Amino acid sequence: MFTKIRLLGTIAVLSLGLFSQPLLAHAHLKTVVPATGSTVSPAPKVLTLNFSEGIELNFSKVKVSGPDNQLVKTGKLVLAPDNNQQIQVPFETELTAGKYHVDWQIVSVDGHKTKGQYSFTVN
């Protein structure tokens, strides 16, 4: 009898661990182009952000500020063709030399929100 109780307890703990894992998932930023902390030349025409999960574009935003903390005008966020984990952010004007800060806030397809920031420099 004691062995059955232990076995049931073990199964319950393992099941809880397996089923709660997706509940804790969030989309994490994996890679960006231009890369975090990089210095690039020529200036990029598009930002590319790659996440660990699919993204709900309608609830996500990316803000870019440049030298002197001026907001950079960007076009509409788009998902990469055939990849709902990659957001592309086109710039509406050419970036000048200086340091740029990217603030992103996304909602993954499972409804979880995540946010972060990084910077790059245009030479």
- 18-39 pLDDT, tens digit per residue, is 444 444 568 999 999 999 999 9
Task: Mention every residue, 6+ apart, whose C-beta is less than 8 A from residue 49.
Answer: 29, 31, 32, 62, 86, 87, 89, 104
> What is the band of 94 on the pLDDT scale with cuts at 50, 70, 90?
very high
At residue 57's C-alpha, the angle toward residues 53 and 107, to 5°, is 55
Cβ contact 49:62 at 8 Å? yes
pLDDT of residue 26: 83
Fold for 26-122, please state it.
Immunoglobulin-like (2.60.40)
Cβ contact 109:84 at 8 Å? yes
Tell me the average pLDDT across 41-55. 97
pTM of the model: 0.78
Tokens linked to 88: 């592309």
